[in-house]
Chain A
Amino acid sequence: MKRREFIKNTSLASSLVFVPSFVNAFDSIMQPNLGHKRLVIIQLEGGNDGLNTIIPYRNDLYFKNRPTLGIKGEKLIKATDEIGFHTSLKPLKNLYDKGYVTILNNVGYPNPNRSHFRSMDIWQTASHSNQTLTSGWIGRYLDTYGNVPYDAIEVDESLSLAMKGESMSAIATKNANRLFKTSQEPYFKQIIKHNSESHLNEHNLGYLYKTLIAAESSAKQIYETSKTFSSKQSYPNSGFAKQLKTTAEFINSGLQTKVYYTSLGGFDTHANQINSQSRLLSQYAEGIESFVNDLKENGTFKDTLILTFSEFGRRVKQNAANGTDHGTANNVFIIGEHLKNQGFYNELASLEDLDANGDLKFEIDFRTIYATILSKWLNVDDEKVLNNSFKQLNFI
């Protein structure tokens, strides 16, 4: 039985069940099985320059458009005769060599929007570009299939739109101990103890009480589970790596969370791109390598899929400030142990056939990736979550 159904049922069965017993009832109920596979989402904020990440180093048009920014064959890590990785991605290339990486090229959506906020919104809500949705795609996954807020955790201070549903949202925490302490305010416990089932049925006020009760028990569950495990893996010293380390601790401690959300910002490289992008890609790749090693050592990598995306790629032609402006389609990385289609899923984007802005024309709709992950990895009905039917891809 789903938790929310349970609330409904008990409220019908008796008009006055005191909350403590009702809360305990949740704790003792076997959690409905959502499966043991989990998804980790990494959001690269600002629009990572995909063309200088996965590089078509034999393409004349690439160098023609990027006279100073283009990265030549000797300055990159070759993957094939045509394609190379940015040197900062050495750790990612190691994972690629082991068959743990699938790269989907040229991912986007029709009528692309070049505003950060709007495009991130589109990616997070899985909407069409002319449609505005108020819930995120993971939020809607929780609406339909979630039981407790910590079914999805954002390793941050507050929730992204992606993690907010209509009737249920994820929980955000960077620090399980701090969240736990906040939730353990003695006054709250008194309030919860003194409340009745009749109160919980009240439309809006009842929702506040229910959310408080769920928050308290989620914070407790996250803290008490995660404190049993402390990572022995060494991670680089960056905020992003710290998020991944926390995520690994949550996973390796046996927390039954299905989706984790993390992010790395700063990719909006309008000027002097070379150094800043190198630094960020290092942070990304080094963090990922430690994370994967940590999971592998603890036997949890096989059930983990890592999805990395950015709200858009950047213009093919570099600008006058040794940077690049907002573009459209981009590459998406899928990292996991048993990938069906290791390496490059599809060809690189054409640099000849550009749109009126001089941007790439997308080939894979990002929502087909979501649909594939929802149905083939999380084993749920993707149409229910995305409110649309999308083609299934073949990478898992």
Chain B
Amino acid sequence: MIMTQREIQHLFWRAGFGILPKQLQKIAHKTRTQIVDELFDNSYRSTPLKIDALEFENIDYQSLKQDKEALKKFTKLLQDKLVDFNEAWIDRLKNPKELLRERMTLFWANHFVCRENNTLFAQQYNNTLREHALGNLRSFTKAVSKESAMIKYLNLKQNKKQSPNENFARELMELFTLGKGNYSEEDIKESARAFTGYNHDFYGDYKFRRFQHDYDKKTFFNRSGNFSGDDIIDIILVEQQCARFICEKLYRYFVNTSINKNHIEEMVEVFYPKYDIEDLMRFVFMSDWFYDETNIGTKIKSPIDLIVGLHRDVPMEFNDQKHLLALQKMLGQVLLRPPNVAGWKGGKQWIDSNTILLRLRLSSILLNSAHISTKQKGEFNDRLNQFIKRKKQKHLPFKVEHNWEHFESAYKTVSIKELQKYLLMANPSSETQSFLNELGKTTKQEHCIQLMSIPEYQMC
């Protein structure tokens, strides 16, 4: 079955960050099976994301330990480099080698939420998410529980036989696997004991401290035994609710914020009991319902979707890395800096008075000296427009190098009139459509900015 242009765009917005006409035309003759297969084939590998930092190679803790000043300096460096890692991650999303894997990594980073100041730990954690993004939930969850970043963030470090800390055990069940109401307080207490002794070394490698581990019998979900942390995860995964919880979260992110129970049950059927993430995602992207009109163009882009999506059409570089950070902050999503362990709620929560104004002005600010042409058909005010453009340029908050040549070449075969079909996933109402029709469309660039400045562009 050949896919429509709109279906291909939908698939690429959800599994990636959109698609350029040039790429779209290349695969337009293929079937859904072929296109989806390619998506997975291209994400078969996992390319770790690493920042270039000579200082981080061949670290020798033994000698650092001797020199307090050097250790202090190094610890500070470990924190300072997080900004570089944030930028590197966004760069990766802009130019992904494994598109679907990167999209999944972004999803999992907001599922197994973690906040870590040590760049090396954060980087290692990020790459663990990437490696398991399309793998098996069982080994994924176990790997996450042994990550230095997680051990720090949810206080596994402080979880010792003599004084258990329940933070990780609670979030493991509430946010990572089962959801609220599917376990008891007693289950938390008992499972926390199973995760005692989890620790890490200076390099971020997992270290099990057996003297801090509680080897006694635990009773969890009506079973008793000398359970380890891994055992607890295995027992949790026996519950079909775990599969359902994950499927619902994936559905809300990849398909629609409103759940369709029948679709979820179909997904659970595929996911349980193997917990193979790739199988599940392939099923979703192959389902007819994934391409229902009710699911297309109805998701509010996250700030990262917006930034990366803009970049795909018109590549841009910030002259000052601080500006990219400031932009993320103003839009409400700084990568590696989730608000709390529940992550970003997304959807409508991205939108408030300030973010809507900034979002709608973003393309014009970044790509067109803050100018959006409101010229009606037949109006002649080019000189005025140029004047406004010059005047606005002086007050730009962001300095950006943009590459409109890339846009021109990628959209070469697309006429001004067709532009809308490529740039908007949400269907404008008839009034908005007539407004767009009335606009003077002098150049593809101007019209591109016009389209990117209406609320419909905020949807994918």
Interchain CB contact under 8 A, A199 and B356: no
Per the 8 Å Cβ criterion, residues 411-439 of B in contact with A are 426, 429-432, 434-435
Number of B residues contacting the other chain (C-beta, 8 Å)? 49
Chain B residues with CB below 8 A from A164, complex form: 349, 352
B183 to chain A, nearest CB (A): 13
Residue of B nearest to A125 (CB): B340
Chain B residues with CB below 8 A from A203, complex form: 258, 298
Interchain CB contact under 8 A, B455 and A215: no
Residue in contact with B356 in the complex, picked from A130, A161, A212, CB distance below 8 Å:
A212
Given known A-B contacts A121-B339, A159-B352, A169-B352, A132 and B175 have beta carbons under 8 A apart: yes
Q: Which range contains the number of A residues in contact with the other chain? A: 35 or more
A349 to chain B, nearest CB (A): 23
Using A161-B339, A195-B431, A207-B348 as known contacts, list a sample of 12 further A-B pairs with CB atoms less than 8 Å apart, ordered by residue number in A. Answer: A117-B340, A132-B175, A134-B349, A158-B329, A164-B352, A166-B349, A188-B360, A190-B435, A191-B432, A204-B299, A209-B455, A356-B163
B347 lies within 8 A of chain A by Cβ = yes
A393 to chain B, nearest CB (A): 27
Measured between alpha carbons, how far is A219 from B426 in the docked complex, in Å? 27
Residue in contact with A185 in the complex, picked from B257, B361, B455, CB distance below 8 Å:
B361
Interchain CB contact under 8 A, A215 and B429: no
Chain A residues with CB below 8 A from B332, complex form: 158-159
The 7 closest A-B pairs by CB, nearest first: A215-B353, A169-B352, A194-B435, A208-B455, A187-B372, A171-B353, A132-B342
Interchain CB contact under 8 A, A191 and B352: no
Residue of A nearest to B344 (CB): A134
Given known A-B contacts A158-B332, A207-B348, A219-B353, A130 and B167 have beta carbons under 8 A apart: yes
B203 to chain A, nearest CB (A): 23
Residue of B nearest to A18 (CB): B431
Chain B residues with CB below 8 A from A215, complex form: 352-354, 356-357
Chain A residues with CB below 8 A from B341, complex form: 132
A335 lies within 8 A of chain B by Cβ = no
Per the 8 Å Cβ criterion, residues 155-194 of B in contact with A are 163, 166-167, 170, 175
A binding-site residues for B, Cβ under 8 Å = 117-118, 121, 130, 132-134, 149, 157-159, 161, 164, 166-167, 169-173, 179, 182-183, 185-188, 190-191, 194-196, 198-199, 203-205, 207-209, 211-212, 214-215, 218-219, 356
CB-defined A-B contacts under 8 Å, sample of 27? A117-B115, A132-B175, A132-B341, A171-B353, A185-B360, A185-B372, A187-B374, A187-B453, A188-B360, A191-B455, A194-B434, A194-B435, A198-B429, A203-B258, A204-B298, A205-B459, A208-B356, A211-B351, A211-B352, A211-B356, A212-B357, A214-B353, A215-B354, A215-B356, A218-B353, A219-B353, A356-B163
Chain B residues with CB below 8 A from A356, complex form: 163
Measured between alpha carbons, how far is A166 from B330 in the docked complex, in Å? 19
Residue in contact with B459 in the complex, picked from A132, A186, A188, A204, CB distance below 8 Å:
A204
Measured between alpha carbons, how far is A167 from B455 in the docked complex, in Å? 18
B197 to chain A, nearest CB (A): 20
Residue of A nearest to B180 (CB): A131
B300 lies within 8 A of chain A by Cβ = yes
B323 to chain A, nearest CB (A): 13
Measured between alpha carbons, how far is A195 from B428 in the docked complex, in Å? 10
Per-residue interface assignment for chain B, residues 366 to 394, with 1 indicating a CB less than 8 Å from any chain A CB and 0 otherwise: 00000011100000000000000000000
B420 to chain A, nearest CB (A): 15
Interchain CB contact under 8 A, B345 and A205: no
Interchain CB contact under 8 A, A171 and B459: no
Interchain CB contact under 8 A, B431 and A196: yes
- Interface majority SS on A: helix, strand, loop or mixed? helix
Measured between alpha carbons, how far is A163 from B203 in the docked complex, in Å? 39
Given known A-B contacts A159-B352, A169-B353, A199-B429, A204 and B300 have beta carbons under 8 A apart: yes
Per-residue interface assignment for chain B, residues 434 to 460, with 1 indicating a CB less than 8 Å from any chain A CB and 0 otherwise: 110000000000000010011110110
Measured between alpha carbons, how far is A170 from B432 in the docked complex, in Å? 28
Measured between alpha carbons, how far is A167 from B351 in the docked complex, in Å? 10
Residue in contact with A194 in the complex, picked from B330, B431, B450, CB distance below 8 Å:
B431
Chain A residues with CB below 8 A from B339, complex form: 121, 134, 161
Given known A-B contacts A187-B374, A188-B360, A205-B426, A158 and B330 have beta carbons under 8 A apart: yes
Measured between alpha carbons, how far is A194 from B436 in the docked complex, in Å? 10
A43 to chain B, nearest CB (A): 15
A22 to chain B, nearest CB (A): 13
Measured between alpha carbons, how far is A198 from B427 in the docked complex, in Å? 13
Chain A residues with CB below 8 A from B175, complex form: 132
Residue in contact with A172 in the complex, picked from B115, B348, B354, B435, CB distance below 8 Å:
B354
Measured between alpha carbons, how far is A205 from B339 in the docked complex, in Å? 25
Measured between alpha carbons, how far is A169 from B355 in the docked complex, in Å? 11
Measured between alpha carbons, how far is A196 from B330 in the docked complex, in Å? 29
Chain B residues with CB below 8 A from A207, complex form: 300, 348, 351
Measured between alpha carbons, how far is A186 from B298 in the docked complex, in Å? 26
Measured between alpha carbons, how far is A172 from B356 in the docked complex, in Å? 12
Measured between alpha carbons, how far is A47 from B219 in the docked complex, in Å? 40
Chain A residues with CB below 8 A from B372, complex form: 185-187
Chain A residues with CB below 8 A from B300, complex form: 204, 207-208
Measured between alpha carbons, how far is A123 from B300 in the docked complex, in Å? 29
Measured between alpha carbons, how far is A132 from B170 in the docked complex, in Å? 11
Chain A residues with CB below 8 A from B257, complex form: 204
Interchain CB contact under 8 A, A171 and B354: yes
Measured between alpha carbons, how far is A185 from B426 in the docked complex, in Å? 22
A201 to chain B, nearest CB (A): 10
Interchain CB contact under 8 A, B329 and A212: no
Chain A residues with CB below 8 A from B356, complex form: 208, 211-212, 215
Interchain CB contact under 8 A, A205 and B354: no
Chain A residues with CB below 8 A from B361, complex form: 182, 185
Residue in contact with A211 in the complex, picked from B329, B347, B353, CB distance below 8 Å:
B353
Interchain CB contact under 8 A, A158 and B354: yes
Chain B residues with CB below 8 A from A219, complex form: 353, 357
B91 to chain A, nearest CB (A): 24
Interchain CB contact under 8 A, A183 and B357: yes
Measured between alpha carbons, how far is A179 from B356 in the docked complex, in Å? 12
Measured between alpha carbons, how far is A188 from B432 in the docked complex, in Å? 12
Interchain CB contact under 8 A, A118 and B340: yes
